[in-house]
Amino acid sequence: QSALTQPASVSGSPGQSITISCTGTSSDVGSYNLVSWYQQHPGKAPKFMIYEVSKRPSGVSNRFSGSKSGNTASLTISGLQAEDEADYFCCSYAGRGILIFGGGTKLTVL
């Protein structure tokens, strides 16, 4: 099972909105509404940001939102802030008892 495809990097200025894509196949992202997103600052454990495509856990800012179209899930961050600079990973159920992650996207706040 291959990793989900994410852009290596994205960037944006404070206050802007950015979107990170997570592309899979009809066997994983396209088949299940079981996509989650994680934020990871350098040297830290990942932080839970989104689950089941678009649901936000308690305590996560509403500047973070998730969506899905076909085989591609997306994470949008609005009102970009300096502390949003981090790596972001998507995760999807791929059937047959497998969870797969994306390769990660480095977000730079200019």
Partner 1 sequence: QVVLQESGPGLVKPSETLSLTCTVSNDSISSYYWSWIRQPPGKGLEWIGCIYYSGSTNYIPSLQSRVAISIDTSKNQFSLKLTSVTAADTAVYYCARTPRFLEWVSGAFDIWGQGTMVTVSS
Among 51, 63, 72, 78, the residue binding partner 1 under the rule CB under 8 A is 51
Q: Which residues contact 1 (CB under 8 A, 6 or more apart)?
A: 28, 94, 98, 100
The span from the CA of 5 to the CA of 42, in Å, is 21
Q: Is residue 96 involved in binding partner 1 (CB under 8 A)?
A: yes
By the rule CB under 8 A, 10 interacts with partner 1? no
Q: In the set 18, 77, 86, 91, which binds partner 1 (CB under 8 A)? A: 91
Cα separation values, 39 from 13, 66, 89, Å: 18, 13, 7
Q: How far is the CB of 14 from partner 1 (least distance, A)?
A: 27
Looking at the Cβ atoms of 52 and 70, the one nearer to partner 1 is: 52
